[in-house]
Amino acid sequence: MNETKLYKAEILKDFCTNVLIGAGVKGEDADIIAESLICAELRGVKSHGIVRLSTYIERLETGILSLNAHMEFERKGGAMALLDADNGFGQVAGHKAMNTAVNIARTHGVGLVGVRNSNHFGIASYYSMLALKSDMIGIVLTHSSPAMAPYGTITPLLGTNPLSLAVPAKRGRPIVLDMSMSVVARGKIRYAALKGEEIPEGWGLNSNGYPTTDPNQVLKGGSLVPIGGVKGSGLALMVDILCGVLTNSCLTGEVKNITDMSGPSKTGHMFCAVNISSFMDANAFKSNIDQTINIIKSLDAIGNNSVYLPGEIEYELEEKRKREGIPVECKVVKSLNGLANRYGLPAL
Amino acid sequence: MNETKLYKAEILKDFCTNVLIGAGVKGEDADIIAESLICAELRGVKSHGIVRLSTYIERLETGILSLNAHMEFERKGGAMALLDADNGFGQVAGHKAMNTAVNIARTHGVGLVGVRNSNHFGIASYYSMLALKSDMIGIVLTHSSPAMAPYGTITPLLGTNPLSLAVPAKRGRPIVLDMSMSVVARGKIRYAALKGEEIPEGWGLNSNGYPTTDPNQVLKGGSLVPIGGVKGSGLALMVDILCGVLTNSCLTGEVKNITDMSGPSKTGHMFCAVNISSFMDANAFKSNIDQTINIIKSLDAIGNNSVYLPGEIEYELEEKRKREGIPVECKVVKSLNGLANRYGLPAL
């Protein structure tokens, strides 16, 4: 049912780039968008990978996402900047914003760059990891469309509002946290519904705000459970305030889903780079992170399980997939080839 | 058993200030420490209130905490600073660091100030809220002594590592999140053990890393459960890296508990102020926060419960306690009077 075929990362990236160029996207922008999609595929975050390409193209073709966005810094001063993405690609805005944060942090120790009027930017860790090569800590927040009810209520208003932090190590792999504020992604609940299975208690609430193990009750008017209940709800609200309200992009609850074609998504993001060498010798810091990794890896595990640092499983998968290729489901290949056909490009 | 007596906030604050001065603390420092303790009492965070005074005094008297700390900025440049607290009071260091972050943010849009070689600083929101009067968003992180096992392991290494964010509103009360990364505080588990009661599943793990409802198994070699499992564990690790490793204060797992008198606690904190007016008109922002509050307050509640924003219950309690007084348990009064007696001060 879920038959897959393996593709080299470069092949998939070139394919995506060419489709985007075919749809009218500038070459350098297409390259960034394709890179973020392949980054997600390599790291096993399929939901933010090439399966999204057709949705991006649909947004472009319907004009809901601007093809010729003029992204300009609306404000810039000291250690901050605010980029108006002009309803263009979230990936292009995010790439520009994170690199700007890194450049600011070179001279100011820290750089904080907000983005307004943007769109879905894909996998958050793609941006936080951009800071690593400059020996900086990257921090990324984005809000997303309503999926979680504020604690104590029954109405989905807050997005799952992901957060990513990336920290460089010396010999070890960087520590990369990339998480949403919900216990599980909506995709897992959709998958259970599709298979006719129950979900564990603690994943979702029904339309009255009470726990349910029926995935359909969650999907129809219910909501996702935030991590730690009131805590995750508070975190998601703060991410929304920093990304949506502070960037003056939209009010809480107004950001639209990537699949909602009724108008601009009004997505906001926040990017922060912290220059390690402003605080201490960057090499000593990275050695200390190596030690932190070693300390954690040498702790006794529960049962016979392996102990993983945040991002470690993703790095291992990335290395494997760079060697062996990325598995793509045949129905996704078919959909991608439909796009290729539309722009007169060779099939995958 | 838990008989209490009501005291005016000013009376308690003056009492704490005088005891600290009696123990040799400078007047202005004593004032800050007392203010943070009373802030916790007013907001109902008893665990970080005046009950801590005797521990602080004990640390001072044994010399584990430095009475004459020379707190100096080790590094300062651009939008960052690093304060060496010289093993002095966390409250004094935190107050200085947050105000420095606010001052930096006035000209740079954002200010990021780390603190190293510090001690327990009490309630995190005391510092995040310092940013509010300057129309800024305050963000505060601190690491704390080992209480949670990194995900997949059985050994407590990470602290509950609290985080606080404070956001100003126009007519409404500020939104103030103040949370740790564990599902519940260790105090709640101690309280259950004391009463001989079971704890709900999901609060604690036994010494083999498996869920338990026996509070004693958690307290004896077990660990607290992080919110969202692997997510809260990752968040706590990142707080530790930012507060402990980046400030070069100590390695993960090395920070000592406030009650551990075996040596300096080596606590690190991180303070960030974000200047709203750098991003948008501060008045418009605060009006939008009012709207966010109104939107959330008007959502349908689960059952007949009231809907609260982060910090709202604490503000309501603060107003009530400023009017009616702060309830203090008689056994705490007795212990405080013991301190007063030691320094020849009048009893409460």
**Which amino acid does the sequence have at A41?**
E
- Does the pLDDT value for residue B317 go beyond 80? yes
CA atoms of B169 and A242, how far apart (whole Å)? 14
User: Would the CB atoms of A288 and B245 count as touching at under 8 Å?
Assistant: yes
Handedness of CA A38, A41, A47, A53 (dihedral sign): positive
CA distance, residue B104 to nearest chain A CA (Å): 10
Query: What span, in angstroms and rounded, lies between the C-alpha atoms of A74 and A104?
Result: 16
The answer to whether residue A2 scores a pLDDT higher than 80 is no
For A300, which of B79, B154, B303 is closest by C-beta distance? Answer: B154
Query: Cα(B94)–Cα(B141) distance, rounded to whole angstroms?
Result: 10
Band (B169; pLDDT cuts 50, 70, 90): very high
For residue A301, which residues of chain B lie inside 8 Å, CB to CB? Answer: 152-154, 209
For the ranges A258-262, B54-58, B297-301, the lowest mean pLDDT is seen at A258-262
Task: Specify the pLDDT at position A185.
Answer: 86
Q: Report residue B68 as tokens.
A: 């004459």
- Residue-level pLDDT at B186: 85
A–B interface: beta-carbon pairs under 8 A = 234
Q: Express each pLDDT in B259-286 by its tens digit.
A: 899 999 999 999 999 999 999 999 999 9
Nearest CA-CA partner of B328 in B18, B49, B35, B21:
B49
What is the length of chain B?
Answer: 348
Does residue A102 surpass a pLDDT of 90? Answer: yes
Q: Which residues lie below 8 Å from residue A276, measured CB to CB, with a gap of 6+? A: A135, A136, A137, A168, A282, A285, A286, B246
Give the pLDDT confidence score for residue B304 in this predicted structure. 85
C-alpha B265/C-alpha B249 separation (Å) is 10
From B137, B165, B302, residue closest to A152, measured CB to CB: B302
Domains of chain A, earliest start first: 69-278 (3.30.1370.60)
Q: Per DSSP, what are the bridge partners of residue A272?
A: A112, A139
Q: pLDDT-derived band of residue A58, with 50, 70 and 90 as boundaries? A: very high
- Side-chain-side CA neighbours of A46 within 13 Å: the count stands at 9
pLDDT band at A191 (very low <50, low <70, confident <90, very high): confident
Three-class SS state of B324: helix
Could you give the ipTM of this predicted complex? 0.97
Q: Whose CA is closest to B79, among A111, A140, A113, A131?
A: A111
- Give the CA count within 13 Å in the CB-facing half-sphere of B18: 18
Q: Alpha carbon of A68 to those of A26, A74, A203, B239: distances in Å?
A: 9, 17, 40, 40
CB A169 within 8 A of CB A175: yes
Which residues from chain B sit within 8 angstroms of residue A245, using beta carbons? 285, 288-289, 292
- Nearest Cα of chain A lies from the Cα of B312 at a distance, in angstroms, of 12
- Name the nearest CA neighbour of B133 among B272, B273, B233: B273
pLDDT of A103-132, one tens digit each? Answer: 999 999 999 999 999 999 999 999 999 999
pLDDT for B176: 98
Q: Could you give the percent of chain A with pLDDT greater than 70?
A: 100
**Which residue type, as a one-letter code, is found at position B119?**
N
* A80-84 and A110-118 beta bridge pairing: parallel
Q: For residue B346, give the DSSP letter.
A: -
> What is the least distance, in Å, from the CA of B301 to any CA of chain A?
4
Q: What are the chain B neighbours of A108 within 8 Å (beta carbons)?
A: 77-80, 108
Q: With 70 as the cut, is the pLDDT of residue A344 above it?
A: yes
pLDDT confidence of residue A338: 96
CA distance B145 to B259: 10
pLDDT of residue A1: 53
Mutate to test the interface with B, among A235, A242, A294, A313 (most CBs of B within 10 A): A235
Which one, of A191, A210, A131, lies nearest residue A166 by Cα?
A131
Helix/strand/coil (H/E/C) assignment for every residue in chain A: CCCEEEECHHHHHHHHHHHHHHCCCCHHHHHHHHHHHHHHHHCCCHHHCHHHHHHHHHHHHCCCCCCCCCCEEEEEECCEEEEECCCCCHHHHHHHHHHHHHHHHHHHCEEEEEEEEECCCCCCHHHHHHHHHHCEEEEEEECCCCCECCCCECCCCECCCCEEEEECCCCCCCEEEEECCECCCHHHHHHHHHHCCCCCCCCEECCCCCEECCHHHHHCCCEECECCCHHHHHHHHHHHHHHHHCCCCCCCCCCCCCCCCCCCCCEEEEEEEEEHHHHCCHHHHHHHHHHHHHHHHCCCECCCCCCCCCCHHHHHHHHHHHHHCEEEEHHHHHHHHHHHHHCCCCCC
Tokens of residue A8, six digits: 């080299």
**Least CB-CB distance to A108: which of B78, B157, B179?**
B78
Contact state of A153 with B247 under an 8 Å Cβ cutoff: no
Q: What is the pTM of this model?
A: 0.97
* A232, A296, A302 member nearest B157 (Cβ): A296
Is the pLDDT assigned to residue B117 strictly greater than 70?
yes
Q: Which of B161, B201, B223, B241 is the best substitution to test chain A (most A C-beta atoms within 10 A)? A: B241
Predicted pLDDT at B245: 98
Chain B, nearest residue to A136 by Cα: B246
Q: Average pLDDT in the B101-114 region?
A: 98
| CB–CB contact B301 A109 (8 Å) | no
Handedness of CA B277, B278, B281, B287 (dihedral sign): negative
Decide if B338 contacts B12 (C-beta within 8 A). Answer: no
Please tell me the distance in Å from A152's CA to the nearest CA on chain B. Answer: 6
Q: Say whether A79 and B209 touch across the interface (CB within 8 A).
A: no
Q: Which helix (H) or strand (E) holds B167?
A: strand B163-167
Residue B218: φ, ψ to 5°: -70, -45
Nearest Cα neighbor of A264 from A151, A120, A108 is A120
Compute the mean pLDDT over every residue in chain B, rounded to the nearest whole number: 96
- Residue for token pair 């009750």: A217
Q: Which residues of B touch A82 (CB under 8 A)?
A: 278-280
Q: Does residue B1 register a pLDDT over 60? A: no
State how far residue A326 is from chain B, nearest Cα, in angstroms. 26
From A257, A340, A328, select the one nearest A37 (Cα to Cα). A328
Between CA B268 and CA B252 the distance in angstroms is 11
